Amino acid sequence: MQGHLIYSFQTGIWVALDGTYYTGGRTTIDGAEGSSLQQNSRLGATVTLPVNRHNSVKLYASTGVSTRTGSDFDAVGIAWPYRWGGGL
């Protein structure tokens, strides 16, 4: 399950707070369920800054809040999205 709260400013800047929860993926060996059920949650944030009509800069980060098995990591990044097509 994912959830996003997004706010867009009149200047074209937008920010988002993101939350993710996932569960599943338990191992089974010879019919016996293992204790490896994945059950994790993450929080993140994104801010996008417009450069011009077609280009923007996106900064994002996320972190693990609760990790039962695997997927405990932090992530940060920067991207350069390019828009094209109708509606511009």
pLDDT tens digits along 39-83: 889 999 999 999 999 999 999 999 988 877 666 889 999 999 999
Cβ atoms of 34 and 69 within 8 Å: the answer is: no
Total domains, the chain: 1
Q: Is 42 exposed, middle or buried (0-12, 13-18, 19+ CB in 10 A)?
A: buried
- The CATH number given to whatever domain includes residue 84 is 3.30.1300
pTM of the model: 0.75
Domain for residue 33, yes or no?
Answer: no
In a domain, 83, yes or no: yes
Task: Report yes or no on 31 lying in a domain.
Answer: no
Question: Considering the domain boundaries, does residue 27 fall inside one?
Answer: no
Per residue in 14-26, pLDDT (tens digit) is 999 999 998 877 7
34 within a domain of the structure (yes/no): no
The whole domain housing 81 covers 1-21+39-88
